[in-house]
Structure 1
């Protein structure tokens, strides 16, 4: 769809203390296909712009109380409204104020009395520029998000390759152990290549990196595979990875769910104390849903930090200062939560009784796995 033909009518905020002027401007703009939001004062204009962001503001320069300059300054001091173009309406005798108007952030001006054709031409130009800029900003933001997601999802298999390589460097490994570690490295490389291939095949999707394909997923097999992938990292800290629960299947996208499980386990390993156990439990205690719990004995999440847990690019302040978070992107939990929700589920955190963390997710139950 071309940018000059948006999916909704552009919204123009018309600010003037004279009702006759608002009525005239409204008639001209409405006839040209614009939606008009009137405001009879600066205060009313700010309130309405905050409630519903306009595509453009037509602003009378001289008004009683809060004048147009102050309205423009306050509009552009708000992050959400900073890019909204403002066109000043000015009488011929007020043209000396134009330099000041541009200093306050105006993009253009129209002299009263105005010609309808000139008004519409200027409004159309700046609305189209605004929408084009918004479109470009969305593209940049989406590309940054995709890049961050790709980098994060590749981090787990690459980290596992690194752990396995470090274990190979240790003296005293048996031939069988070396073969096992090499197989882990090859398997993790295959997983990374598979992810890259999926990404390249679907790179045309803008809204999401992965398109979800929902099908029954055996949660027991998924958890076992995730534990196998993280075994070397756990061994480096002398951790035990255990699994319990029922043979259940969830309705999910297997590739996305695998990444979620890997992320939860790798986080647990990072913060679990040396020599402790990380437990994974599968149950169906909530009717119609399968649930997976990943439980560690780490320092837990301070209550003051829990509201930040699933925010993008936010790192949580931990009480355990011995953990190196320098490689953390602050994206893993946000991506995991988004993926689980897109599959129709829910992901949450709760403190573990006796100390530690529990990260859990639930998904619609597909069917029980028969033995």
Structure 2
């Protein structure tokens, strides 16, 4: 056997037979791998919790906890930060290994193992491991770059916004009508760019698990009235009417949520309705709902929550094709409309709704407008909210 340079790959060999462990350990150590061993499934799981490895060689038939159960726990129950390939080791007369592969194992080898086959399968799975690790590292670097870029972009954009505001207010002298028009266009474009940067930053925070929500009692009727007041000038520019259709039980329109994120959510939905509607109106409905088991099942809502508030944002726009509705809430999915944006707004909206244990749906027909339906729980414990 040719000697090779030492590797840093760590391999865990799990087998209840000391002879099998000694044989496999000897073969792999001669190739320069670092080997640790476990005599049963429980010991193997304990080792993986404290010291993850690059590959697991797992005997399928062991007393107590067999290889099937160990595979299941590694893939499902254990919160592994990195992917670990699993190579099942089974006797020729053992049951079919298909079940182990279905549970998440990557390959198998039958006893008695041959040196060449064992090393070939080990090398193959370690290549898989290195490829996945490299991909994950590239993803992490990309996300870190996006985070740094968005932070760095915000500073000059905010500064430009303040300077343009001063120019519009005449702080640097009177401007001609032509200059006023140019400054207004620049300010609007700067605000749009700043909004895109902020959205990208929020998406990154959610995906990186760095988003912290501050839950408090939020009166949705007041929040929606506030947002409508902010967006009314945009609707007036297009001669669109905004109608508020709230239930009479105003005192029941309170949810436990992050007010800033809910403001972001409904600003996006109502703003989109205005943006994509050329004539007609925008109607915002707010209704407390006592969910029946049928509704709960339809919306796939948590069984521990029964009382919801539904918020509907309906427009009289062109509607959305069925094929676009299926991917509407995915990241970077732009619609075919000429005014479609970055494809992040509705994705971020979905993440905000899910962080509040709610659901968001779309009901739309071409030529008949669109309705976005958000369902949010009326009551949540602060403990539950902090854990989300």
TM-score normalised by structure 1 residue count? 0.53
Q: Does 1:324 align with 2:339?
A: yes
1:175-215 per-position Cα deviation (integer Å, ceiling 9, x unaligned): xxxxxx9xx99xx89x97xx79xx79xx9987335222222
Residue 357 of structure 1 and its aligned partner are, at CA, apart by 0.7
How far apart, in 2, do the equivalents of 1:232 and 1:150 lie? 29
Match of 2:281 among 277, 284, 289: 277
Q: What is the aligned length?
A: 268
Match of 2:368 among 355, 365, 370: 355
Residue 269 of structure 1 and its aligned partner are, at CA, apart by 0.9
Residue 245 of structure 1 and its aligned partner are, at CA, apart by 0.5
Q: Does 1:295 align with 2:314?
A: yes
Partner SS, residue 228 of structure 1: helix
Q: Does 1:36 align with 2:87?
A: yes
Contact 1:12 1:35 in 2 (8 A): yes
How far apart, in 1, do the equivalents of 2:363 and 2:176 lie? 38
TM-score normalised by structure 2 residue count? 0.51
Residue 234 of structure 1 and its aligned partner are, at CA, apart by 1.6
Residue 140 of structure 1 and its aligned partner are, at CA, apart by 3.6
Residue 324 of structure 1 and its aligned partner are, at CA, apart by 2.8
Residue 46 of structure 1 and its aligned partner are, at CA, apart by 11
Q: Does 1:251 align with 2:256?
A: yes
Q: Quote the residue 2:243 is aligned against.
A: 242
How far apart, in 2, do the equivalents of 1:333 and 1:121 lie? 44
Q: Quote the residue 1:87 is aligned against.
A: none
Aligned-pair Cα RMSD in Å: 5.7
| Correspondences of 1:1-371 after superposition (within 5 Å) | 7=49, 35-37=86-88, 51=102, 113=115, 126=127, 129-130=130-131, 132-140=133-141, 142-143=143-144, 207-246=208-247, 247=250, 248-274=253-279, 276-287=280-291, 288-318=307-337, 323-325=338-340, 328-351=341-364, 355-366=368-379
1:234/1:13 CA distance change after superposition, 3 Å: farther
| Contiguous gaps of at least 5 residues in structure 1 | 15-25, 61-111, 172-180
How far apart, in 2, do the equivalents of 1:9 and 1:230 lie? 54
How far apart, in 2, do the equivalents of 1:283 and 1:170 lie? 50
Residue 329 of structure 1 and its aligned partner are, at CA, apart by 0.9
Residue 280 of structure 1 and its aligned partner are, at CA, apart by 0.8
| Contiguous gaps of at least 5 residues in structure 2 | 1-8, 11-46, 59-66, 72-83, 170-174, 178-183, 292-306, 381-388
Partner SS, residue 285 of structure 1: strand
Residue 228 of structure 1 and its aligned partner are, at CA, apart by 2.4
1:284/1:138 CA distance change after superposition, 3 Å: same
Residue 266 of structure 1 and its aligned partner are, at CA, apart by 1.4
1:326-362 per-position Cα deviation (integer Å, ceiling 9, x unaligned): xx11111111112101111011111379921100201
Partner SS, residue 317 of structure 1: coil
Contact 2:218 2:259 in 1 (8 A): yes
How far apart, in 2, do the equivalents of 1:236 and 1:361 lie? 27
